[in-house]
Structure 1
Amino acid sequence: MRPSARTTAEVMAQVLRTTASLAFTEGLNPAQWSALRYFAQATPSARSVVAFARYHGTTKGTASQTIAALLKKGLLDRSRSERDRRTVNLELTAAGRLVLEHDPLNELAAAIASLSDAHHQHLAEGLDQVLRTLLVRRSRRTGGPAPRRGEAAE
C-alpha cells in the first residue's frame, strides 16, 4: 500500500528536524553550515553575498548576517576583485575547510549511503522533483522567476 503524501511529508519533516538539530555543532548554526558548504562549492564568480542570497532564496540582509558571522569566526575571508574594486569575493579559509571536515550533513549522507542503489536512485530522483515543484510554487507566490537548483554554484 502506498503511503499518503502527508505521511511522507511528516517523515521528511522529521528527517529535516533531526538533521537541523545536528547542525548546532562546532559553534555554528544550520545557516552557517549551509553557507560554508555553498562557498566550498561555488565558482569564483558566485562567491558573493548576492549570489549566496539568490541561491538560498533569502534576502541580502540575512545572507550578510550569516556571512559576517563566518568572517568573524575566521572561516571565510573577503577580498576585493582585481578587475572591479567594488566587487567583494568570499572564500573559505583553511580553518573553514577544516571545520567542513566535521560537517553534520555527513551523518545524513552516511544514512543515504546505507540505502540500496535502487532506493538511493529513487530517493534522489523523488527529492529532486519535490524541490523543483517547491521552487516553482515559491516563485509563483513571490512573482519572481523560478530559480534552478544549483544555479548560483554551477
Structure 2
Amino acid sequence: MTPDLTHTRDLVDRLFRLSAAGDWAEALNPTQRMALAYLARANRFSRCPSHVAEYMALTRGTASQTLKALVRKKLICAQRSPVDGRSISYKVTEQGALMMRRITVVEQVLQTMDTDFVRTFNAQLEIVLRQALLLYGKKPFGPCRSCQYHEKTGSGAHCGLLNEPLQAGEDQQICQEFAQEASDIKVAGA
C-alpha cells in the first residue's frame, strides 16, 4: 500500500502552522522567531543577513527587515566585522537568549513523548529536509562537529575550510559552510 503523500504534506504544514500561531503569542511573528532561533544556534561565521536569508529561504530584503525588527526589540545586536569594518553579523542578546528558552507548544508535546520516538522522528525529518534541500540546490547548514572540514586538535577543534580555530562550544553550532561527508549523503530513491 502506497503512503498518502498529500496527507503527509498536510500534517507537516498543519504542524508548522500550529507552531507558527503559538509564536505570535511571544511578541514575535513566526519569521522573527525562526531568525532568532537560527542566530541562537549559528556559529560566528554564519550570522550575517545573507546566511539568515539562505537558511530560512527568504529574500535578503525580508531577512534584513526581520533582523532590523529583532534589533529594535533588543533581542539581537549588530556587530561590524573587525576584518573589513563593513560586513555586519548579529549576536543574540541576553534578552533574546531568555526569549529562546521559552518552551513552544510543539516542544511541550515532544517533551511528553518517548525519547527514542523523538530521536527517530528528528532523524526522519532531517532526511526529508536534506532531500528537499538537495532537490532545490540549497545549502544544508549543520553542526560543525558533523562537517567534513571539522578537525579535532589538541586544544579543541579547528575548521579546515576556513582555517580557523573553533571557540569552545562552536562545534555544536550550525555553520553555513557545513559539508557532509560524501558517505553520509543519501540520494532520493537509493
Q: Which TM-score applies when normalising by structure 2?
A: 0.68
SS in structure 1 of the partner of residue 24 of structure 2: coil
Task: Please say if 1:153 is aligned against 2:174.
Answer: yes
Matched, 1:52 2:52: yes
**Superposition RMSD on alpha carbons, in Å?**
2.2
Match of 1:43 in 2: 43
- Answer yes or no: is the 8 Å Cα contact 2:141–2:174 preserved in 1: no
Structure 1 position 122 matched with structure 2 position 132: no
What is residue 65 of structure 1 aligned with on the other side? 65
- The answer on 1:81 being equivalent to 2:81 is yes
Alignment counterpart, residue 110 of structure 1, candidates 100, 108, 111: 108
For structure 2, the residue ranges without an aligned partner over 5 or more in a row are 144-172, 176-190
Amino acid at match of 1:96: G
Greater shift after overlay, 107-116 or 80-89? Answer: 107-116
Q: Secondary structure at the match of 2:26?
A: coil
Equivalent residues of 2:39, 2:92 under 8 A apart: yes
Considering fraction of residues, name the structure with more strand.
Answer: 2
2:11 aligns to what SS in structure 1? helix
Structure possessing the higher relative contact order (Cα contacts under 8 Å, 6 or more residues apart): 1
Identity of aligned residues (%): 29
1: CA distance between counterparts of 2:141 and 2:28? 24
Unaligned runs of 5+ in 1: 140-145
- Deviation, 1:112, is 2.0
The CA deviation string for residues 50-97 of structure 1, in whole angstroms up to 9 with x for no partner, is: 111122222211110100101111111112122220121211112111
8 Å CA contact retained: 1:33, 1:103: no
1 or 2, which has the higher helix percentage? Answer: 1
**2:89 is the alignment partner of 1:97:** no
CA distance in 2, matches of 1:11, 1:61: 30
Judged with a 3 Å threshold, the aligned counterparts in structure 2 of structure 1 residues 124 and 2 are, in CA distance, closer, same or farther, namely farther
In structure 2, the CA distance between the partners of 1:114 and 1:137, relative to structure 1 (3 Å rule), is: same
Aligned: 1:9 with 2:9: yes
Structure 1 contact 132–149 (Cα < 8 Å) conserved: no
Quickly say closer, same or farther: Cα 1:78–1:52, change in 2 above 3 A.
same
Distance in 2 of aligned mates of 1:113 and 1:90? 30
> How many residues are matched?
146
Q: For residues 119 and 92 of structure 2, what CA distance do their matches in structure 1 show? A: 31
Amino acid at match of 1:85: G
